Amino acid sequence: MNYFKHLFGPVPSRRMGLSLGISPIPEGYCNYSCIYCQLGRTDHMTNTRQSFFEVSDIINEFKQWLRLKKEVDVITIVGEGEPTLYKNLGQLLIELKKLTNIPIAVITNGALLSEKEVRDDLKYADIVLPSFDATNDEDFIKINRSYGKMDFSKVFEGLKQFSKEFKGQLWIEIMLVKGYNDSEEKLIALKDLLDQVEYDRIFINTPVRPPAESYAHEPSDETIEMATGILGGVAINHLISNGFSSDITDDYEAIVSIIKRHPMNQFEIKSFLEIRLCENINEIFNRLSQDEKIEVVEYKGYKTYRG
């Protein structure tokens, strides 16, 4: 069995096409515990950057993956938490760039952009996708539940500074949560702040997958439409993504490796297994339901599985 510890997928990204994921941090390390987080509540709250893994171990896996000669649209550094907490992120990006011309994206919550060391690391990426959900301390604490006494204005100044320095593509993602940041007044305030940031694209997301807190609801379609109008962004709240794949030959292990980092709903798992010509789909669903390491969440009338 071909099993990668840091690489997963490819998974379909609604913004970037088919994406090979690379996770440089252990499960559940983040400096936020967002109410909408699709990974559940953060287990390890920290704001300290650490060398969780050797760059060479991740690079060795990537070299093995390259030998498989698979095609993807993008390589995405995305954690089972927050990837900028990886102290060797800059070195990892440099080493990856030596091996491939595939664009490399980093998905981040943007909390550490006020630190020069983090901005310097991220300059080696082709695309950086920071999230930005609040316009003041009160909403920031309510939505993102940041580590310790993190200050919203510092996070915003970090984003602004990074946008001036970064030469690649800066794509901002806003997660709209009903009743938290989706009123006309809040959206106008967001727009006013983002006007000070030099970004290339804005994506408007909603909690389409089961959130950490059951009270983090999706706004209505009308509200999403109003938000795209005010912010000038693109809404990416589609329900089902096809195109998940994995180089792991065992069907069950392949699913587990994906849902540890990227939850899949029952339709996505079924379509993933059908494409792989799996003959015991029901058995796999039974195993998933009985596996203590896997959480099965009923959300919006169907099941979502996360590791």
- The binding site for ligand SF4 (CB under 6 A) comprises 30, 32-34, 37, 39, 42, 81-82, 109
Please report how close the Cβ of residue 97 comes to ligand SF4 at its closest, in angstroms: 24
Instruction: Give phi and psi for 17, each to the nearest 5.
Output: 90, -145
Say which residue the tokens 């952009």 belong to: 113
Closer residue to ligand SF4, CB minimum distance, 38 or 136: 38
* Shortest Cβ 107–ligand SF4 spacing (Å): 8
Look-up of token digits 């959130």: 211
Closest to ligand SF4 by CB, 109 or 265 = 109
CB of 42 to ligand SF4, least distance (A): 5
From the list 269, 272, 258, 292, the residue with the least C-alpha distance to 38 is 258
Q: Which is nearer to ligand SF4, 47 or 136 (CB)?
A: 47
Q: Which residues pair with 13 in a beta bridge?
A: 17
**Nearest-approach distance from CB 285 to ligand SF4, in angstroms:** 26
CB of 134 to ligand SF4, least distance (A): 12
Please say which residue, 39 or 273, places its beta carbon nearer to ligand SF4. Answer: 39
Burial 222-236 (b: 16+ CB within 10 A, else e): ebbebbbeebebebe
- DSSP β-ladder status, 44-45 and 29-30: parallel
> In whole angstroms, what is the distance from residue 307 CA to residue 261 CA?
7
Residue (176 or 273) nearer to ligand SF4, CB:
176
Minimum CB distance to ligand SF4, residue 131 (Å)? 7
Residues whose CB falls within 8 Å of the CB of residue 209, separated by 6 or more in sequence, listed in order: 38, 263, 265, 299, 304, 306
Nearer to ligand SF4, 122 or 284 (CB): 122
Instruction: Give yes or no for a contact between 126 and 77, defined as CB atoms under 8 angstroms apart.
Output: no
Minimum CB distance to ligand SF4 smaller for 81 or for 307: 81
Q: Are 88 and 55 in contact (CB under 8 A)?
A: yes
- The angle, 0 to 180 degrees and rounded to 10, between the axes of the packed helices 221-231 and 184-194 is 30
C-alpha 233/C-alpha 7 separation (Å) is: 30
Q: How far is Cα 94 from Cα 76, in angstroms, rounded to an integer?
A: 14
CB nearer to ligand SF4: give 32 or 62.
32
- At position 196, the amino acid (one-letter code) is Q
Instruction: Classify residue 146 as exposed, middle or buried by CB count within 10 Å of its CB (0-12, 13-18, 19+).
Output: buried
Shortest Å, Cβ 10 to ligand SF4 = 20
| Residue 131 DSSP label | B
Q: Least CB distance from residue 39 to ligand SF4, whole Å?
A: 5
